């Protein structure tokens, strides 16, 4: 796209062709709501062809109402930028007038998205997000490419005085002006690697859940005279083909999980690109649904880096950018931005773009050994002992064979989780490490801390053990059961840094 000359201080409407988008998505939303009612009508009125005409008339009336309603919303929906007050203003409504005003320096993130219908009509859905709400602040369903480009340029151009001060104070260890540190493009090969090695446990559990629901539906379908033909077939199969079917089931489950993850990853993150422009990150990706996201690095609260054993062998990682309210669930769109399949070198480039400085993992402290011992007692020994008593007393003792492998796995899990827990302290950064299979690093700049809490239970005082909780606008970070004196020394340094330098966190 060439640079836009559109004047956004003049009130703008959504694209005229975008009215088709508004009507289309409104129809889809209403159809989903009316599908159960349509099934009831079809079942009850089966064979009553004389009433079909009334249903067609009713459908036409509803269709006309939806078209008229969306046209009125389209006509009374406009937005513009007040250059004098530096505010983005959106006005909507016919009888009930609404006006939304957002200060440009409060804008946290801008998304320019294209779903399939948007791409066919060459229009964009624009989302403007601030830190002060639990949901996306403004959504403009369909604007032309010219308006989308103008919004992108204007909102990227705007930088707060606090952003400027933050950049001026930092002396980067690497030259961010270098082109090598301005662009990252994730290759299809990297996406395939990450698609083969991520989220397989969640996908496997989802497939198992769907499989059980399918079996239940089939059982209900074949049930006859209170006796299920399907159950008889299953009993015969269990008696004669159990071992073979278990092997086939495991193999098919693994193949399905891999294919589902791979397909979902490629469709969602295809052609993933990150570039630095006017001190803002421009992120774009997607095959069927294209997303364009604008993020100001000073607004990033912290970054998560995760990698499992297979990803380490393939030399790929996953990054996640977290902004305000990112850990409050899915109430707010776009707050947690995934960056999948980056190489170690690309990871350094992205972190350099966000933080404009380098850091190291040093001065690490680990949890006290008591934490590992207590977790083994509570989450390994106790559950296995209870399971042993229950199986021995109420079930067939031959099932006790399952307890040794479960015990070994739970013990291994607690030991590895304990060994992977660390708290690192750099001059300007705090790094939390944790995880079992997916080892995760959470990287936080000291001045982004909003609140610090240290606490010590009565039974920990004798051994000088305590815990730490750090609150940020992007979520809460915990480090528990470690050297309390060391924790307090670090907290005192962090508090001094926050008070003495007084850097903005937004």
Give residue-wise pLDDT tens across range 202-260. Answer: 666 666 666 666 666 666 655 555 555 555 555 655 555 555 666 676 677 777 878 88
430: which strand partners? 425, 444
For residue 165, pLDDT beyond 50: no
CA distances from residue 294 to 91, 290, 364 in whole angstroms, order as listed: 23, 14, 34
Q: How far apart are CA 284 and CA 171, in angstroms?
A: 29
Query: Token pair for residue 263?
Result: 């397909």
- Residue 506 has a CB neighbour count (10 Å cut-off) of 19
In this prediction, residue 358 has a pLDDT band, given cuts at 50, 70 and 90, of: confident
**For 323-346, what is the mean pLDDT?**
70
Output 241 or 166, whichever has higher pLDDT.
241
For residues 181 and 275, the answer to whether their CB atoms sit within 8 Å is no
Q: Which of 17-21, 217-221, 284-288, 410-414 has the lowest mean pLDDT?
A: 217-221
Place of tokens 């060391």: 486
Q: Which alpha helices (H) appear in 11-126, and where do they start and end?
A: 18-44, 52-75, 116-121
In this prediction, residue 41 has a pLDDT band, given cuts at 50, 70 and 90, of: low
pTM for this structure?
0.78
Quick check: is 284 in a domain?
A: no
For residue 97, pLDDT beyond 60: yes
Place of tokens 């051994």: 463
Report the pLDDT value the prediction gives residue 330, as an integer from 0 to 100. 43
**For 307-319, what is the mean pLDDT?**
93
Quick check: is 416 in a domain?
A: yes
Quote the mean pLDDT of the chain. 81
Report the pLDDT value the prediction gives residue 304, as an integer from 0 to 100. 95
Q: How far apart are CA 302 and CA 324, in angstroms?
A: 10
Q: How many domains does the chain have?
A: 3
Q: How far apart are CA 364 and CA 429, in angstroms?
A: 12
Quick check: is 420 in a domain?
A: yes
Query: Token pair for residue 244?
Result: 């073979």
Q: How far apart are CA 34 and CA 29, in angstroms?
A: 9
Residue 92 sits in which domain range? 18-157
Do 373 and 491 fall within a single domain? yes
For residues 306 and 120, the answer to whether their CB atoms sit within 8 Å is no
Output 201 or 271, whichever has higher pLDDT.
271
Q: How far is CA 487 from the centre of its chain?
A: 31
**For 80-106, what is the mean pLDDT?**
87
Output 161 or 185, whichever has higher pLDDT.
185
Report the pLDDT value the prediction gives residue 220, as an integer from 0 to 100. 61
Place of tokens 């090969």: 189
Q: How far apart are CA 99 and CA 115, in angstroms?
A: 27
**For 55-70, what is the mean pLDDT?**
84
Distance from the first to the final alpha carbon of the chain:
30
Query: Token pair for residue 153?
Result: 């340029």
Output 61 or 493, whichever has higher pLDDT.
493
Report the pLDDT value the prediction gives residue 344, as an integer from 0 to 100. 92
Q: How far apart are CA 445 and CA 324, in angstroms?
A: 14
* CATH code, 379: 2.30.29.30
pLDDT digits (tens, 9 = 90+) for 114-164: 888 888 888 999 888 876 555 557 888 889 888 888 888 787 665 444 454
Quick check: is 289 in a domain?
A: no
Output 172 or 113, whichever has higher pLDDT.
113
Report the pLDDT value the prediction gives residue 303, as an integer from 0 to 100. 94
Quick check: is 448 in a domain?
A: yes
Quick check: is 315 in a domain?
A: no
Q: How far apart are CA 245 and CA 278, in angstroms?
A: 59
Do 202 and 145 fall within a single domain? no
Do 54 and 102 fall within a single domain? yes
CA distances from residue 177 to 189, 321, 345, 353, 439 in whole angstroms, order as listed: 28, 22, 17, 10, 32
Domain finish residue from 207, 233, 267: 267
Quick check: is 464 in a domain?
A: yes
Do 64 and 118 fall within a single domain? yes
- For helices 18-44 and 52-75, the axis angle rounded to 10 degrees is 150
* Element holding 436 (H helix, E strand): none
Do 128 and 218 fall within a single domain? no
* CATH code, 108: 2.30.29
């Amino acid at each position: 796209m060439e640079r836009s000359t559109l004047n956004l201080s003049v009130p703008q409407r959504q694209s005229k062709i975008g009215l088709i988008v508004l009507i289309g998505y409104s129809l889809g939303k209403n159809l989903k709501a009316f599908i159960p009612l349509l099934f009831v009508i079809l079942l009850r009125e089966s064979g009553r062809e004389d009433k079909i005409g009334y249903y067609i008339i009713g459908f036409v009336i509803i269709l006309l109402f939806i078209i008229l309603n969306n046209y009125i919303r389209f006509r009374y929906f406009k937005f513009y930028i007040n250059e004098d007050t530096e505010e983005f203003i959106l006005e909507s409504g016919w009888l009930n007038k609404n006006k939304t005003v957002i200060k440009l320096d409060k804008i946290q993130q801008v998304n320019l998205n294209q779903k399939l219908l948007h791409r066919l009509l060459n229009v964009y859905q624009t989302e403007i997000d601030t830190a002060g709400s639990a949901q996306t602040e403004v959504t403009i369903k369909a604007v032309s490419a010219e308006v989308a480009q103008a919004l992108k340029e204007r909102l990227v151009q705007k930088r707060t005085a606090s952003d400027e001060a933050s950049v001026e104070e930092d002396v980067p260890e690497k030259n961010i002006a270098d082109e090598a540190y301005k662009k990252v493009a994730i290759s299809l090969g990297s996406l395939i690697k990450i698609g083969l090695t991520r989220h397989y446990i969640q996908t496997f559990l989802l497939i198992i859940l769907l499989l059980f629901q399918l079996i239940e539906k089939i059982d209900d379908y074949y049930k006859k005279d209170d006796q299920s033909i399907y159950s008889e077939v299953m009993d015969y199969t269990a008696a004669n083909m159990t071992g073979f079917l278990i092997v086939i089931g495991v193999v098919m489950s693994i193949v399905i999980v891999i294919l589902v993850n791979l397909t979902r990853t490629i469709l969602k993150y295809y052609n993933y690109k990150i570039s630095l422009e006017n001190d803002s990150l421009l992120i774009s990706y997607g095959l069927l649904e294209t997303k364009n996201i604008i993020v100001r690095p000073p607004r990033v609260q912290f970054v998560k880096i995760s990698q499992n054993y297979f990803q380490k062998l393939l030399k790929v990682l996953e990054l996640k950018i977290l902004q305000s309210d990112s850990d409050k669930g899915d109430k707010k769109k776009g707050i947690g931005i995934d960056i999948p399949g980056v190489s170690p070198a690309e990871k350094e480039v992205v972190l350099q773009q966000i933080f404009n400085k380098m850091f190291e993992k040093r001065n690490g402290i680990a949890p006290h050994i008591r934490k590992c011992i207590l977790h083994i007692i509570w989450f390994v020994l106790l559950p296995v002992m209870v399971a042993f008593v229950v199986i021995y007393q109420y079930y067939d003792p031959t099932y006790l064979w399952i307890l040794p492998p479960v015990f070994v796995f739970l013990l291994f899990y607690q030991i590895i989780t304990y060994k992977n827990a660390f708290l690192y302290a750099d001059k300007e950064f705090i790094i939390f490490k944790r995880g079992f299979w997916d080892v995760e690093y959470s990287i936080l700049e000291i001045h982004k801390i909003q609140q610090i809490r240290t606490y010590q239970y009565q039974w920990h005082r004798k051994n000088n053990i305590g815990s730490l909780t750090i609150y940020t606008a992007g979520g809460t970070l915990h480090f528990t059961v470690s050297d309390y004196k060391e924790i307090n020394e670090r907290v005192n340094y962090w508090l001094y840094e926050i008070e003495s330098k007084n850097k903005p966190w937004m």
